[in-house]
Amino acid sequence: MAAVLWLLAVTLLPLCYGGRLSVSTQKLEIQNHLKQLNKPPLKSFNSPDGDIIDCVHISSQPAFDHPLLKNHTVQMMPNYRPQGGLFGDSKAVKRKSSKPMTQMWHSNGRCPKGTIPIRRTQGQDLLRASSVKSYGKKQQRTIPQPPKPAAPEPSFISQSGHQHAIAYVDNDKYYGAKATMNVWTPRIEQPNEFSLSQVWILGGSFDSDLNSIEAGWQVSPDLYGDNNTRLFTYWTSDAYQATGCYNLLCSGFVQISNEVALGASISPISSYDANQYDITILVWKDPKEGNWWMQFGKDQVLGYWPAMLFSYLSDSASVVEWGGEVVNSQSDGQHTTTQMGSGRFPGEGFGKSSYFRNIQVVDGNNNLRVPKDVTTFTEQSTCYDVRLGKNDDWGSFFYYGGPGRNPDCP
């Protein structure tokens, strides 16, 4: 059976890539790329969702294929973490939730110390990409650009139908950001579309040299081959032109955690008018080393983006954004029905709409604080919308999302 599937795959390759390479050349290209991505594991697990998780020695991870990291010494812990800005868990969330957030592969074991878990890339993953080299990379710039002071309307980058519902700040220097977001499984209409919720940390111009660090959850059939909700990261130092990728699908991000696999499925997931489950993501710049660190949950430090990967972010970020993004391919001339967040509008509130709560930024003194002058943006509020709020329990928060195509969004 496996041989038949492989034969079918390599036969279809010329159609996928639009080229005239021989089957043997294309097969070799895939094999070489898989060898580059999949490092020799010390141990492996089969996840209930069909993934294979490899436990790879920390010194053998993909990060060190980067030419700037050949002699890099792994920083096993950050020198500093942001201080202050603490909020308790919402009483409403506690009342509706009972299980901790985990990843599906945990049900079959854990990676030993000294290793990191990596989702294994399969041949069929590469076949879904437009080319082997483009696998794991964004094809378009999809960062919403804050409006200029003199512009009557915001000028956002939204090529290829990318649409957003976000909150953002752009009036200071930022050294990190934090947020807690509930996790859903939005419906995706077309395989080439996705839906995600994330934090963006940005520096530079939006044309050619944008520096971006991104982290959150996403549903992306093209990238993962299914409709599971997955933890993800992304980075670029040149506006997605040549650098960066999702998760560990290229060199750059240095992982230290043996508990969390980037790109792996998250469980459990929020349900409409029932249990709500959320994740907390913190990204901050170590004042001493200059590396950008990521923390998942209350205390799980995943790893860092080395400062040398960036130009503008080697100093600070100029924009922080939180919120959702979808691809609206309009393949049939109508707006997609791909959902953002829970697929419900912000007005439905807790238990029904998706939210970001306790949104914070890290200032120049390495302190977490509530952001000032938060602004919102969405391209089509009748399709996806965003609504700000503030209280003692959730600090600065917002509800966001929507169903996509509906009577008011044809």
Distance in angstroms between the alpha carbons of the first and the last residue of the chain: 44
Degrees, nearest 5: CA angle 113-114-116: 90
* 189 in catalytic set: no
Rounded distance between C-alpha atoms, residue 26 and residue 231, angstroms = 31
Residues 25 and 164 in one domain: no
> What are the tens digits of pLDDT across the range 66-81?
999 999 999 999 999 9
Residues 114 and 24 in one domain: no
> What are the tens digits of pLDDT across the range 278-336?
999 999 999 999 999 999 998 899 999 999 999 999 999 999 999 999 999 987 889 99
Residues 1 and 85 in one domain: no
Is there a contact between 74 and 115 (Cβ–Cβ < 8 Å)?
no
Q: 10 is in which domain, residue-wise?
A: 1-37
Chain mean position to CA 393: 26
Closest Cα partner for 40 from 19, 15, 57? Answer: 57
User: Domain total for the chain?
Assistant: 2
Residues 20 and 164 in one domain: no
Residues 68 and 134 in one domain: yes
21 pLDDT exceeds 90? no
Chain mean position to CA 68: 24
The average confidence (pLDDT) of the chain is: 88
Query: Is 346 among the domain residues?
Result: yes
Q: What is the DSSP letter of 253?
A: -
Residues 236 and 365 in one domain: yes
Residues 132 and 1 in one domain: no
- Confidence category of residue 16, pLDDT binned at 50, 70, 90: very low
Regarding pTM above 0.85, the answer is: yes
Query: Is 406 among the domain residues?
Result: no
Is there a contact between 157 and 151 (Cβ–Cβ < 8 Å)?
no
Query: Is 407 among the domain residues?
Result: no
* 214 in catalytic set: yes
Residues 83 and 143 in one domain: yes
Query: Is 323 among the domain residues?
Result: yes
Residues 21 and 121 in one domain: no
Mean pLDDT of 247-266: 97
Query: Is 318 among the domain residues?
Result: yes
Mean pLDDT of 179-196: 97
Query: Is 409 among the domain residues?
Result: no
Catalytic residue among 189, 193, 214, 321: 214
Residues 47 and 30 in one domain: no
CA 231, 237, 305, 39 torsion-angle sign: positive
Residues 147 and 21 in one domain: no
Catalytic residue among 189, 193, 321, 325: 325
Closest Cα partner for 301 from 265, 253, 268, 266? Answer: 253
Whole-number pLDDT of residue 349: 97
Residues 209 and 249 in one domain: yes
